[in-house]
Amino acid sequence: MSDSRKLTYYSVEEPAVEVSDDNHLPEVTEPEPANVSIARKSGRWGKWLAVGVVFALSAALIEAVLMVLERLQQNVVLGSLWAVGFGVIVFAFLSFIVREIWLLQRLKRRWKKQSAEPEQQLQLLEHPDLEHRWQQIKQSYWSADEKRERFEVDILSRVDQQATRVISRWSAEAAAMVAVSPFALLDMLIVMWRNQRMISRIAELYGVKLGYWARVRLWRQVFANIAYAGLSEVAADLGAQWVSAELLTRLSTRAGQGLGAGLLTARLGYQVIELCRPMPFEKVKKPGYLKLQKDLLSQLKSVLPFVYKSRQTKAKAGAEQKVEN
Amino acid sequence: MSRFQKFKHQTRDVIHRGFDRHIRLAVTGLSGAGKTALITGILEQLLYANETQQLPYFNVRQQQRLNGCRLHTSSNWQVSRFDYEGAIDCLTGQAPKWPQSTRDVSEIRVEIKYQPRSGLAGRVMDTRRLTLDLIDYPGEWLLDLPLLQLSYDEWSRQQQRLLKAELRDQLASGWLDKVQTAVKVASEEKAEQQLRELATDYRAFLRQCRERKLLLLQPGRMVLPGELEGAPALEFFPWPLSEPMPEAWAKRLREKYRYYQQNVITPFYQKYFKHFNRQVVLVDVLQALQNGEHHFAELQLAINELMKSFSYGNNSLLKRLMSPVIDKVALVATKADSIAPQNHQKLTQLLQLMTQKQRQELQFDQIPHQVFSVAGIATSQIRKLSDGTTVLDGINEQRELVRVGAPEVPNAMPTEADWRQGYVYPQFYPGFTAQDSPLPHIRLDQLLEYVLGDKLK
């Protein structure tokens, strides 16, 4: 019995931290969700183009330096003005590039981080109030799974709620604007502009800052996801649209256009939520379209004189149908 | 007046039960499994639910729909009230200690007032009530329950098998010798006297078993007689020998056994165990691991026997005794505060393995059940040393602060080599002050949500 187990006692004075942040489970690296990784092949032409641009840029740079030197020899004041001007431009350009790369990296990292520890994700969210709340509720005895669940249900769902509110507000606005806009081109511009604003707003809620390229990537991903939407999602959407099929027959053309624009905006918004969310929806239900329609309609009602077709036209349509039968 | 009040209470109970607004929670566990601590913990968390952030899993609280909970008079006026205040005093007083082991039945009722959200009630009512009855009783008496289904001869055969087990055969040898010598001089006239003496010896043997922490001790009233101290109802014992009983004894032993079944066990269950509709089975897995292989096997056997009596098939006697049946079972490994959080999962797994057979039956009968690892009152803090070792800070028996390296838990049934090494777990004592209310717990919120959550929607 020499090898029997015994309790090991430690000195109480030894410094020890309260356990709360880490569990010793091996980190599971889940495969990236399929809908996020749609790889793009950069063509041969792109590569040549990049080489050309690099050459041209370096030539321009050398040219500029030479020019500045020449001017300096002619006139010191004018030369230094040129130098400062070029310097500022180059600096701004470089910092823009660095910032863009950094932001894009952050977005990509976010897509990869979809299975990281709640504590890390919480920092990425950049919501001090939620951090405080997490400190309040978290229990030292939780396992990794429990932590994940609580993080999603108690913390992330709040951000989701905010994002859903944003979506419903912006899509309602888009719907109203499209409904009252006089021509089609303006419709398109409005939808683009509203969507752009909404996406930045949602991304911000989830702690994702968007630069130009990050934005482009996000847009591309959003459209790719909508194009490659899974069967279930299509079914869910169809369901939502079926609900409205009966409604659409009653809507006036204007209201119908508005509703369509609103729904599209909302759809984009939900995609952005999924892309910016630090973890996929597990215990929390995905936000849906049902309540949204109500919001959209009430918004439309407030801006349009008549949302529904007038009773007369409807009655006429009904009579025509009867005749056909 | 008081009779009218009592009538009023009872009518309200019936109505509540009819509307499924009444939960009688069977906290089932052998002695030392931590029933009292768990009940105290549950009461503590419920009563202070709105003042604490410790219940994230308890949805009614988390969604801020809980108006409050308060203690209420039970409609069963013959049963003493569970001494919740006493237990809290014990835990938070001048010299904090665990509440004494339970010696008699007590009951307590909590009324939970909440705002319903779903269903018809959610539309019609602002607030709703749910009554929760918690019953505490000595775990020793629980083991009488399986006896209801056994005849004297069946019971004797079971005990004969049990008496052959290691440790038990040592403890029983004295009593067995006495039985063997007494058999030779068995006679009609002296039967009463002889049986009484042998029963006293059997009782002494049971007490010895208890000191050695054996668990399956029947009949339970011999270990803890309650009001039956010295009563002739206890003058019997299982027949331990393979040879048949002398005629003079057989008649009396069977008669006493039947009397015990009908007049001690049956009223006990009809009085207290009737109308249970939810069950929490407490199992002190860690203690059994520490006590070694035989205790572990005996614990498994005891749970098996126990849950058989609570089973939901047609043959279950209890189902006939109490018309409402248990529709949800939580299997709980207690004292999770003496291991590190990383081991909670293993503890749950181990309990799952131990109760595999019962869980299969529950599965078959489609009774929802789930396994938890819980501490009704958590007495340790989890810390981490600079080198990464997880340690538990707690208070030991001498009321000093100690720091113990968190022991491991096997996640499969221990092998022989494991048993040779043995297991040892720290035993912490409460060191709370009155300001610590509500007392810390481990995973009680999940247990509460599981047991009550569906009634609080």
Number of domain units in chain A: 2
| Over residues B149-173, mean pLDDT | 89
Size of interface A-B (CB pairs under 8 A): 90
Residue among A4, A20, A141, A283 with most chain B CBs within 10 A, to mutate: A141
- The confidence score (pLDDT) of residue B201 equals 92
A167 and A267 co-located in one domain:
yes
| Domain shared by A195 and A295, yes or no | yes
A179 plus A304 within the same structural domain? yes
Least confident of A88-92, A256-260, A266-270, B296-300: A256-260
Question: Is A5 in Cβ contact with B423 (below 8 Å)?
Answer: yes
Average pLDDT of chain B, as a whole number: 85
The pair of structure tokens assigned to B93 is 């007083």
Across A176-185, B197-206, B227-236, B406-415, least confident range: A176-185
- State whether residue A325 sits within 8 Å of chain B by CB: no
Question: Considering chain A, what is the average pLDDT of its residues?
Answer: 75
Report yes or no: B395 at the A interface, CB cutoff 8 Å: no
* Contacts A24 to B, Cβ<8 Å: 342, 390
CA A84, A90, A93, A98 torsion: positive or negative? negative
Query: Could you tell me how many residues make up chain A?
Result: 325
Peptide bond into B426 cis (omega under 30): no
* Chain B residues closer than 8 Å to A9 by CB: 402-405
**Are A138 and A206 contained in the same domain?**
yes
Res. B259: pLDDT tops 90: yes
Classify residue B407 by its DSSP letter: P
Does pLDDT of A138 surpass 80? yes
Residues, chain B, total? 457
A311 touches chain B (CB under 8 A): no
A15 touches chain B (CB under 8 A): yes
A77 & A215 share domain: no
Closest to B421 measured CA to CA, from A2, A140, A23: A2
Q: Which of A123-132, A315-324, B138-147 has the lowest mean pLDDT?
A: A315-324
Query: Are residues B188 and B248 in contact, defined by beta-carbon separation less than 8 angstroms?
Result: yes
Put simply, the answer to whether A141 touches B442 (Cβ < 8 Å) is: yes
Chain A residue nearest residue B402, CA to CA? A12
CB B345 within 8 A of CB B305: no
Note whether A212 and A107 are same-domain residues: no
Per-residue pLDDT tens over the stretch B418-440 = 898 889 999 899 988 888 878 89
Q: Flag whether A5 is in a domain.
A: no
Q: Do A16 and B384 touch (CB under 8 A)?
A: yes
Residue matched to tokens 């009704």 = B376
Q: How far apart are CA B35 and CA B134, in angstroms?
A: 10
**Whether the predicted pLDDT of B23 surpasses 70:** yes
pLDDT score of B94: 83
Q: Fill in the DSSP letter of residue B228.
A: G
Domain boundaries, chain B: 2-143+273-379+432-455, 148-269
A271 with A177, same domain?
yes
Least confident of A2-16, B38-52, B167-181: A2-16
User: In this model, does residue A241 exceed pLDDT 60?
Assistant: no
d(CA B455, CA B15): 16
Q: Would an 8 Å CB–CB cutoff place B54 in contact with chain A?
A: yes
Could you tell me what percent of chain B has a pLDDT over 70?
A: 94
B450 — pLDDT class (breaks 50, 70, 90):
very high
Cβ-count burial of A200 within 10 angstroms (0-12 exposed, 13-18 middle, 19+ buried)? middle
Say if B33 is an interface residue toward chain A (CB within 8 Å): no
Q: Nearest CA to CA, how far is A142 from chain B (Å)? A: 7
| Contact assignment for B422 to A25 by CB distance below 8 Å | no
**Alpha-carbon distance A59 to B251, whole Å?**
116
Residue of A17, A139, A143 to mutate, testing the B interface (most B Cβ within 10 Å of its Cβ): A139
pLDDT band at B111 (very low <50, low <70, confident <90, very high): very high
Distance CA A262, CA A272 (A): 15
Q: Which residue of A has its CA nearest to B63?
A: A154
Residue at A217 is within a domain: yes
pLDDT one-digit tens code per residue, B267-302: 888 777 767 888 898 999 999 999 988 889 889 988
- The alpha carbon of A85 is separated from its chain's Cα centroid by a whole number of angstroms, namely 37
For residue A223, pLDDT beyond 80: no
Residue A59 lies in a domain: yes
A-chain residues within 8 Å CB-CB of B54? 139
pLDDT, position A25: 40
Whole-number percent of chain A with pLDDT over 70: 73
**Distance in angstroms (rounded) separating the CA atoms of residues A260 and A242:** 14
Are A160 and A303 in a shared domain? Answer: yes
pTM over cut 0.80: no
pLDDT at A302 (0 to 100): 76
Question: Is A150 in contact with B407 (Cβ distance < 8 A)?
Answer: no
Beta-strand relationship, A16-18 and B128-136: unpaired
Q: Residue A195: which of A181, A215, A224, A217 has the closest Cα? A: A215
Place of tokens 């590569």: A47
Q: Which pLDDT score, from 0 to 100, does residue A123 have? A: 78
Chain A 197-226, residues with CB within 8 Å of chain B CB atoms: none
Q: Within 10 A of B163 (CB to CB), how many other CB atoms are there? A: 18
- The Cα A21–Cα A151 span in angstroms is 13
Look at residue A23 in the predicted model and tell me its pLDDT.
42
Phi, psi of A32 (to 5 degrees): -60, 140
The alpha-carbon gap from A6 to the nearest alpha carbon of chain B, in Å, equals 6
pLDDT confidence tier of residue B372, bands split at 50, 70 and 90 = very high
CA distance B376 to chain A (A): 13
CB contact under 8 A, A10 and B57: no
Q: Encoding tokens for residue A204? A: 């911000």
Contacts of A10 in chain B (CB under 8 A): 385, 389, 391, 403-405
A284 CB within 8 Å of a chain B CB: no
List the single residue in B with minimal CA-CA distance to A144. B342
Written as one letter, the residue type at B240 is: P
pLDDT for position B349: 93
Residue finishing a domain among A95, A114, A133: A114
Q: How far is CA B131 from CA B22, B59, B282, B349, B456, in A?
A: 5, 17, 22, 32, 11
Asked if the Cβ–Cβ distance from B403 to A25 is below 8 Å, we say no
In B92-111, the residues whose Cβ lies within 8 Å of chain A are: none
Interface test with B, best of A1, A4, A7 (most B CBs within 10 A): A7
Q: ipTM, 2 decimals? A: 0.73
CA B394 – CA B372 distance, rounded (Å): 23
Alpha-carbon torsion angle B81, B86, B91, B95, nearest 10? -160
Cβ contact (<8 Å) for A10 and B385? yes
Residues A66-111: pLDDT tens digits? 888 888 888 888 888 888 988 898 899 899 888 888 888 877 777 6
Alpha carbon of residue A153 to chain centroid = 20
Residue with the bigger pLDDT between A222 and B143: it is B143
Whether the per-residue pLDDT at B160 is higher than 60: the answer is yes
Helix (H) or strand (E) holding B248: helix B247-260
Of the ranges B2-11, B28-37, B70-79, B118-127, the best mean pLDDT one: B28-37
B110 with B43: CB under 8 angstroms?
yes
d(CA A173, CA A189): 14
CA distances (Å), origin A105, targets A210, A224, A248: 11, 19, 43
Nearest to B403 among A10, A23, A136 (CB): A10
Report CB contact under 8 Å: B56, A5: no
Contact A299, A265 (CB under 8 A): no
A106 and A246 inside one domain? no
Distance from CA of B422 to the nearest CA of A (A): 6
Q: Are B30 and B215 in contact (CB under 8 A)?
A: yes
Cβ of residue A25 closer than 8 Å to a chain B Cβ: yes
Domain co-membership, A249 together with A206: yes
- Determine whether the interchain pair A139/B344 forms a contact, defined as Cβ–Cβ distance below 8 Å: no
For residue A7, give the nearest of B383, B424, B443 by CB distance.
B424
Whether residue A37 is contained in a domain is answered as no
Domain membership of residue A75 as a residue range:
45-114
Which of A49-63, A179-193, A305-319, B310-324 has the weakest average pLDDT?
A: B310-324
Q: Which residue has the higher pLDDT, B111 or A124?
A: B111
Nearest CA-CA distance, residue A144 and chain B, Å? 9
The band of A176, judged by pLDDT with boundaries at 50, 70 and 90, is: confident
Q: Report the gap between the CA of A136 and the closest CA in chain B (Å).
A: 6
| Residue at A38 is within a domain | no
CATH hierarchy code of domain B2-143+273-379+432-455: 3.40.50.300
> What tens digit of pLDDT does each residue of B227-250 get?
888 888 888 999 988 888 888 888
For chain A, the three-class secondary structure string (H helix, E strand, C coil) is CCCCCCCCEECCCCCEEECCCCCCCCCCCCCCCHHHCCCCCCCHHHHHHHHHHHHHHHHHHHHHHHHHHHHHHHCHHHHHHHHHHHHHHHHHHHHHHHHHHHHHHHHHHHHHHHHCCHHHHHHHHCCHHHHHHHHHHCCCCCCHHHHHHHHHHHHHHHHHHHHHHHHHHHHHHHHHHHHHCCCHHHHHHHHHHHHHHHHHHHHHHCCCCCCHHHHHHHHHHHHHHHHCCCHHHHHHHHHHHHHHHHHHHHECHHHHHHHHHHHHHHHHHHHHHHHHCCCCCCCCCCCCCHHHHHHHHHHHHHHCCCCECCHHHHHHHHHHHHHHC
Task: Mark which residues 296-355 of B lie under 8 Å from A by CB.
Answer: 336, 341-342, 344-345
Q: What is the pLDDT of residues A5-39, one digit of tens each?
A: 778 888 777 777 766 544 444 343 433 443 443 44
Tokens of B395: 């208070």
Among A9, A141, A154, select the one facing B344 at the smallest CB separation. Answer: A141
Terminal C-alpha separation, chain A: 95
pLDDT at res. B114: 92
Task: Please answer whether residues A80 and A72 qualify as being in contact, where contact means their C-beta atoms are separated by less than 8 angstroms.
Answer: yes
Strand order across the beta sheet in which A9-10 lies:
A9-10, B401-405, B390-395, B381-385, A16-18
Rounded to an integer, the average pLDDT of B189-204 is 88
Asked if B390's CB is within 8 angstroms of A17's CB, the reply is no
Nearest Cβ partner of B383 from A5, A16, A23? Answer: A16
C-alpha distances (whole Å) from B36 to each of A306, B88, B376, B379, B399 are 68, 11, 9, 15, 21
Cβ pair A16:B391 closer than 8 A: yes
For residues A299 and A187, membership in a common domain is answered with yes
Token pair listed for A287: 């936000």
Q: Are residues A143 and A246 in the same domain?
A: yes
Helix residue ranges, H only, B310-443:
317-321, 344-354, 356-364, 416-421
Inside any domain, residue A27: no
Measure in Å the smallest separation between the Cα of B62 and chain A Cα atoms.
9
The span from the CA of A149 to the CA of A155, in Å, is: 10
Model pLDDT, residue A32: 40
**Any chain B CB within 8 A of the CB of A94?**
no
